[in-house]
Structure 1
Amino acid sequence: MSELVVIGAGAFGSALAVALSRDGTKITLWGRDTKAMDAMRVSRSNLRLPGVHLSEDITITSDLSAIGCCGPILIATPMQTLHDMLGQISDPLAGRAIVACCKGIDLKSHKGPSTLIAEAKPDAIPAILTGPSFAADIARGLPTALTLACANKTVGPALQHQLSKKMLRLYWSEDVIGAELGGALKNVIAIAAGACIGKGLGDSARAALMTRGLAEMLRFSGHFGAHNQTMMGLSGFGDLALTCTSEQSRNFRFGASLGRGEAFDASVTVEGVATAQAVTEIAQDIGLDMPISQAVCAISTGKTSVLEALQSLLSRPLKKE
């Protein structure tokens, strides 16, 4: 029987399965596309992870009943599909950890992954796995450090030890809200950083956006009780630094395409678009000033241009930092 279940056989879910199975841990990797999963089972590879082998310790399936009734479940599906995915899981989950590996805010409910898990599966124990990481790096066994956030003081440390591997180091945090908001908000700022570079505005402008973006992240997360220390750690500043400076980041690439006025591959999930919209709506409801998030929402939905958004940001009243 598998010791761990990974739901979502995209690049990140498959990379996690590869990393977690390197020491012989038995993994069940589930994906919804039966044909794609059959092909992966035969080839022992994922087209989204070129050159990466899926060992025989990974059971590849499209049958949800195969997830069994024990061991943690890691869900690596897009944030906007998490609610529906949770509804499809019917196995007994009492005392079982469900670890959300997606980053964002649900656009319909304005809730984060931990709240969605708690509401859909009240007998389970919600946790968040987040931080600066790319699927290709994890799959190749490159050194990666992540935050595992879980409020349960018994389950959290146990999960930390179970999921930590030789080249995958996990730091446990009780601040679930801070961890999930850090992972969500940094995607919004990454789009802005990408637009800045794509428009040819330079690295100095990107650094300013990242810095003021971090201020927005602290302002928003602080309103909901997150700890500043969390936002300055791996799940906040660490993830922000990675996604704002690398072409591997889908959110950065999307922003860069906006800056260049180019079309972007519609099949690629860009979590920051929905998050920017959700953050803008929430900020308006609670009276928070989130100018970069509002600008990203406007440019990503075609309501304004990158230059118009920049001019709006630069024309804001001068103030003390």
Structure 2
Amino acid sequence: MKITFLGGGSFGTALAKAMTQNGHEVMLWERNEERVREVNEQHTNGKYLQGIRLPESLRATVDLGEALNHRDMVVLAVPSSSIREVSGKIKPYLSGDEIIVSIAKGVDPKSLKPLSQTIFEVLDKDPVILSGPSHAEEVAQGLPTTLVASSRNELAMVRVQEAFSSNSLRVYRNHDLMGVEIGGAVKNIIALAAGISDGIGYGDNAKAALMTRGMTEIIRIGEKMGAETETFYGLTGIGDLIVTCTSMHSRNRRCGILIGQGKSMDEATKEVGMVVEGIKATQAFFELAKKYNVEMPITDAVHQILFEDVTPRDAVINLMNRELKRE
């Protein structure tokens, strides 16, 4: 297949590498001209994937028209906050036959809708959401990874599953699009909380509690928004939560650690050097919890730390001293 990845970040580049090795003709579109030259001439992307050699046949371009010319599949590998803008930019270049894939994990920050709905509104096409427990660094190294493809378009979902699967990538299908998207978005909030806990110096007990009660929050808001509970016990729920809360590859956890150590949100994100989706997700689900009248105390606590000048230790004390109840 002829596949274009829009965005030269870590996960987009890692998947572009994997798809090139799968035998597909892959192009990477990137706004940064220096990064495009690096990919084409040095076959690396040092800012996002240090020490990884990219295939020589993987080509990059800053020309959107070139990137989208006669493509079978277009992968939106940009942050959730850019999905609407980028979808609008590519619309004039699409023929209508392309499969649209999104690997972003979040919701539209303006409408608070799942990204699949934003893409459909702009492009009038059902996208495939590709999600799951998958750090870019491990995908780029060819380490075994599982993903989940979800869409209202059955044929597109199957084609994505077939195109991305390999000896190191196994892709499942799941028709619960809402559940796949909610799990991928909210787990970033819990990963921020887990990182903050680590940064303060708390132990495994605290992290286990955050992850477990965090899963409760994911299920609560997911069910209210129309998701199937079973989805959250799978790869895009508990699977993604585990990997994001426990690994130093996780930019959300790393950002949380820095905040727990006393740095501001801005200082922490600057040091991480990449988009921290959990911050936008915290803003979005703080509002969605109020809209759907869902109790999400961990999300509230992270919101207090990020946007309400509450110290991490005070936020934890507030959590621990909530009204006692049954589990």
TM-score where L is the length of structure 1: 0.96
Distance 2:126 2:291 in 1: 30
Match of 1:111 in 2: 113
**Which residue number corresponds to residue 42 of structure 1?**
41
Residue 154 of structure 1: SS of its match in structure 2?
helix
SS of the residue corresponding to residue 75 of structure 2 reads strand
Q: Distance in 2 between matches of 1:69 and 1:219?
A: 43
Could you list the structure 1 runs, at least 4 aligned residues long, displaced by more than 6 angstroms after superposition.
none
Deviation at 1:24, TM superposition (A): 2.2
2:4 is paired with a residue whose SS is strand
2:131 & 2:94 partners in 1: Cα distance?
25
In 1: Cα distance, 2:223 partner to 2:127 partner: 21
Q: Does 1:280 align with 2:279?
A: no
**Could you tell me which residue of structure 2 aligns to residue 33 of structure 1?**
32
Using the TM superposition, give the Cα deviation of residue 21 of structure 1 relative to its aligned residue in structure 2, in angstroms: 0.9
**Structure 2 residues without counterparts, runs of 5 or longer:** none
The alignment's C-alpha RMSD in Å is 1.3
Describe the SS at the equivalent of 1:225.
coil
Residue matched to 1:187: 188
Write out aligned runs for 1:287-298 (5 A).
287-298=293-304
* Per-residue Cα deviation, 1:270-314 (whole angstroms, up to 9, x for no partner): 110110111011111221111111111111225211111111111
What residue in structure 2 maps to residue 205 of structure 1? 206
Q: Given the alignment of the two structures, is residue 59 of structure 1 paired with residue 63 of structure 2, yes or no?
A: no
- Output the amino acid matched with 1:19: A
Separation (CA, whole Å) in 2 of partners of 1:167 and 1:261: 39
Counterpart contact for 1:192–1:296, Cα < 8 Å: yes
**Displacement after TM superposition at 1:265 (Å):** 4.0
Of all paired residues, the percent bearing the same amino acid is 38
Deviation at 1:87, TM superposition (A): 1.1
For 2:281 and 2:84, the matched residues in 1 are separated by 15
The offset of 1:25, in angstroms, is: 1.4
* Displacement of 1:93: 4.5
User: In structure 1, the residue corresponding to 2:246 is in which secondary structure?
Assistant: coil
Does the 8 A contact of 1:152 with 1:174 survive in 2?
A: no
The alpha-carbon deviation at position 51 of structure 1 amounts to 2.3
**Helix, strand or coil: the match of 1:264?**
helix
Cα deviation code 1:100-133 (max 9, x no counterpart) = 10111222221221011100100x2311111111
Partners of 2:269 and 2:276 within 8 A in 1: no
**C-alpha separation between the residues in 1 aligned to 2:70 and 2:225?**
34
Q: Deviations over 1:121-161 (max 9, x none)?
A: 00x23111111111110011000001111122222112211
TM-score by length of 2: 0.94
**Residue-pair matches, total:** 319
* 1:154 partner letter: L
